[in-house]
Amino acid sequence: MSTPPLDPHYPVAHLRPPRNWVNDPNGLVFHDGYYHVSYQYNPYGATHANLHWGHFRSPDLLSWEPLPIALSPTPGGVDGDGCFSGNAVTDGDRLVAFYSAHLVARSPQHQPVTCAVSHNGGTTFRPRGELLIPELPEGCTMYRDPYVWRDVDGWRMLVGAALADGRAATLLYDSPDLETWTYRGPFVARHPEPIGDTLELTGEGWECPQYLPAAGGQAALIFSTWTEPTGPMRVAALIGEEQDGHFKAGAPVWADHGPDCYAPALLRAPGGRWLLWGWSWEARDQAWAVAGGWAGVLTVPREIHVGGDGTLRQRPATELLALRGERTVQAEGTTHGPEPVQLGSVGRAFDLTARLEPTGTAGLRLLTTPDGSEYLDIRLDPDAGELVVDRDHASLDTRAHGGAYRMPCPTGQPVDLRMVVDHSIAEVFLTSTGQVLTLRFYPTGQGAWRLQARTAPGTRLRYVVDAWELHPLVIKTPTAGAAEQY
């Protein structure tokens, strides 16, 4: 079994195998007492190629057991060049995984749907061997990523698409038995339009559609925006309701305000709870990741729902509280500046809560070198009504990406934050609004990390900040069948 690399940027409280390339979470399902998390995985290197479905399962979201690779491309088969993304459903004693079959010779943008079945709790899957839905509907210029769910009277499927008329779409199918699928037309199709209050557009195509059905309120359609020639962009959602096979929704909103979350996927957990994991890609030069032998990580599992006010709300899964260890910061006070207030030291993986009440621009700084030249800033800008996460100085290594990212933040009331930081990933949750911003950063400093509270001139900040060490996930020793692939 390979062990995780001794790499200062390797996350320990986030799920991924010890080596190689990871992208989208796939096949998320609760079956027979276990949460199953598969993911796009290249067993041969740290680049996006040779895509298989790696596979973990967990009874509690804290300890994870690597299972054998769930799906592998069949040489000469319908998925010979890759088992691309999709999801899985539980049906009696069966787990059925639906995925996008990739063959370069077919077309770079047409990955038809196929499936594989497991009768042993996901230990092994038997691929169908032929396509389940061979043809793509007329007028599609991109087609992939099935999402299947059980509805009142049967099964339904969405597939991500781009249409020749310039609209991005999710296409709707239904089936009485998971075997025979009937195409019902676009569930939603939209020309590119701005997301939230930003100028960024919803893209030419949508990958990895996910459907969060209404639970007494509104439903959410989450999708990953894709545009030629850049490809994957960001993640957005439509909130609305279904009427006769069409999803009626308002303006698109962000599903994550950060630059480094893509292809998030849903899991329907027991008790009506919905969980979501995203793929957090590397935000550094590819050669750096390849030299380290790994790339990509899954976000923490997040509880997600549509609030009574019609907004998409996320927070870390409750179980993650059990990863909290020693409380290393417990600070409370008021500062007028101009000197920053030292709040205490944190490890390279920590869970933080903060209540901030600023009269102007103020926030927290995570310093990652002793001389303070390298830092990640989390700033409240009440004039703009935004929370800003700024990584322009977060790495002295020029191969790390910079940029400042924003999410709306109500003013005139205390701001409650939760941050899960793990070596090279920060997930910043605005507790009051349920919004989240994910980004990667690559500190180079060798010493202890420190937290400060800071204010702009003339600003007063009242703060309560607590931070706990974050314990690593427990990754079990893989079973014999899984060990050599892991």
What is the binding site for ligand FRU (CB under 6 A)? 23-24, 40, 51, 84-85, 100, 144-145, 207-208, 232, 262-263
- Minimum distance of ligand FRU from residue 46's CB (angstroms): 14
- Minimum distance of ligand FRU from residue 182's CB (angstroms): 23
- DSSP letter at 291 equals H
- Minimum distance of ligand FRU from residue 262's CB (angstroms): 6
- Minimum distance of ligand FRU from residue 363's CB (angstroms): 32
Residue with smaller CB distance to ligand FRU, 380 or 425:
425
Residue with smaller CB distance to ligand FRU, 85 or 395:
85
Residue with smaller CB distance to ligand FRU, 24 or 256:
24
Q: How far is residue 351's CA from residue 420's CA, in Å, rounded to a whole number? A: 5
Q: Are 1 and 486 in contact (CB under 8 A)?
A: yes
What angle is formed at CA 438 by the lines to CA 433 and CA 440, rounded to 5 degrees? 155
Three-state DSSP class for 361? coil
Quote the distance between the C-alpha of residue 145 and its chain's center. Answer: 16
Q: How far is residue 380's CA from residue 389's CA, in Å, rounded to a whole number? A: 9
Burial class (CB in 10 A: 0-12, 13-18, 19+), 480: exposed
Residue with smaller CB distance to ligand FRU, 203 or 232:
232
Q: How far is residue 221's CA from residue 186's CA, in Å, rounded to a whole number? A: 13
Q: How far is residue 233's CA from residue 215's CA, in Å, rounded to a whole number? A: 29
Three-state DSSP class for 46? coil
- Minimum distance of ligand FRU from residue 102's CB (angstroms): 7
Residue with smaller CB distance to ligand FRU, 24 or 386:
24
- Minimum distance of ligand FRU from residue 318's CB (angstroms): 28
Give which of 366, 354, 360 is closest to 380, Cα–Cα. 360
242 Cβ neighbours under 8 A, 6+ residues apart: 187, 214, 219, 248
Residue with smaller CB distance to ligand FRU, 125 or 463:
125
Residue with smaller CB distance to ligand FRU, 84 or 463:
84
- Minimum distance of ligand FRU from residue 274's CB (angstroms): 20
Residue with smaller CB distance to ligand FRU, 223 or 247:
223
Q: Which residue has the tokens 């009485």?
A: 176
Residue with smaller CB distance to ligand FRU, 24 or 381:
24
Helix/strand number for the chain, H first, E second: 2, 37
Cβ count near 110 (within 10 Å): 18
- Minimum distance of ligand FRU from residue 207's CB (angstroms): 4
- Minimum distance of ligand FRU from residue 430's CB (angstroms): 26
Cβ count near 216 (within 10 Å): 7
453 Cβ neighbours under 8 A, 6+ residues apart: 331, 333, 335, 340, 341, 343, 362, 363, 364, 461, 463, 465
Residue with smaller CB distance to ligand FRU, 52 or 167:
52
Q: How far is residue 28's CA from residue 8's CA, in Å, rounded to a whole number? A: 29
119 Cβ neighbours under 8 A, 6+ residues apart: 93, 94
Residue with smaller CB distance to ligand FRU, 68 or 203:
203
- Minimum distance of ligand FRU from residue 372's CB (angstroms): 37
Burial class (CB in 10 A: 0-12, 13-18, 19+), 22: buried
Q: Which residue has the tokens 């409650």?
A: 416
Q: Are 207 and 23 in contact (CB under 8 A)?
A: no
- Minimum distance of ligand FRU from residue 417's CB (angstroms): 29
